[in-house]
A = this chain, B = another copy of it.
Amino acid sequence: MTTTTTHPTIADVARQAGVSTATVSRVINKSGNVTADTIARVQAAIAALDYAPHSGARILASRRARTIGLITPTISDLFFTDLLRGIEQTVYEHDYTLLVHATHGRPYDNIIPTLPLNHHNTDGLIIFTNSVDDARLQKLHERHFPLVLLHRSPPAGTDIPCVTFENKDGAYRMTAHLIACGYRRIAFLAGPAENEDAQWREQGYREALVAHVLAVDPALIVPGDFNAGVAETAVIHLLQSQPDIQAIFAADDESARGALAAIRQSGRRVPQDIALAGFDDSLLSQYLHPPLTTVRAPIEAAGRAAAAQLIQLIHTGHADPLTLLPTELVIRESCGWRERNP
């Protein structure tokens, strides 16, 4: 009982304009030579019929989609907004169209290995984090389908270009900042184990400690999940087991938010009793009390870079294997300064 729809085709336009379908196709695609007069007639016919070319048929016939796709695990994230802004901006500047598909962790059809966005309807794909698994990435890449990875490194053995932040560097500098502020017992509230951003951030924390001749105490590294609730619980326990910690560096701002709640529950103050730092500079961070000191991640720039790389890849067959975007320390009020002796 599906509703049916009737739309004019290129043949209707051709008839109305008194030309052949080939000519209509030429004016639509601005290809080949057509008389100004003929162009006008065809355009008039198109307008009169409100004709729109069938994209499926075009892709089928031309083998190009002039569209790029974005596959993401979820669209429901605060930073997604910025990412998308960057991607869209670049895509449209290049006169492409963007289609977005969120997987939400749904598995692929195990019989028909199809993604809603693929070579059939896009000329290339931006793959955000682990929305598509290694095996499929491999297959797509083997077939020379243009791919750019965002916040995820390429499967072993492939050279799929990828774009990400200088996570390690940012975490290193924030940790160094905390040390410079006089803190020594600095805990790290980690992110999801499988998340590469989180891994690099933890690595930056560790290296900064070592570089400043401070011990890396495993008891001070607690697992988190880029989630405020999880962080809150974790920090409540941390505060009990390690009452002497002076600062907490959270792997992302959401976790920092959870940590803040936990610290407050424990009756301590930020930053007087304990310093707190985050990572991302998400929208919320400036509204926390106290405003959160954090590492700003250039999310919009990452979106722009990914789109630019992909379009370049589509056109030239080449892209930079790795694009690393610099991060920036944003010092607000949650870190304070430890007056006491180190």
Contact = CB atoms under 8 A, between A and B. Distances in A.
Interface string A131-152: 0000000010001111000000
Interface string A33-66: 0000000000100110011111111111001100
Nearest to A123: B2
Given A56-B60, A56-B120, A60-B54, A46 B5 contact: no
A97 to B, nearest CB: 4
- The secondary structure that dominates the A interface is loop
A15 interface: no
A267 interface: no
B53 A114 contact: yes
Contacts of A64: 2
Given A85-B76, A113-B50, A144 B28 contact: no
Nearest to A76: B81
A49 to B, nearest CB: 10
Contact of A6 (B75, B99, B112, B143): B143
B114 A315 contact: no
A222 interface: no
B314 A146 contact: no
Interface in A71-124: 75-78, 80-82, 84-85, 88, 92, 97-102, 104, 106, 111-121, 123
Contact of A60 (B57, B118, B283): B57
Contact of A56 (B55, B97, B104): B55
Nearest to A116: B97
A121 B56 contact: yes
A100 B97 contact: no
A186 B47 CA distance: 51
A211 interface: no
B315 A1 contact: yes
A153 interface: no
Given A287-B284, A315-B2, A54 B120 contact: yes
Contacts of A81: 75-78, 80
Nearest to A89: B104
A5 B120 CA distance: 10
Given A57-B60, A287-B284, A317-B3, A52 B99 contact: no
B5 A144 contact: yes
A75 B75 contact: yes
B121 A121 contact: yes
A88 B104 contact: yes
A58 B57 CA distance: 10
Nearest to A27: B111
A73 B85 CA distance: 12
Given A2-B64, A99-B99, 7 more contacts: A2-B314, A3-B314, A7-B119, A52-B115, A56-B56, A77-B81, A99-B117
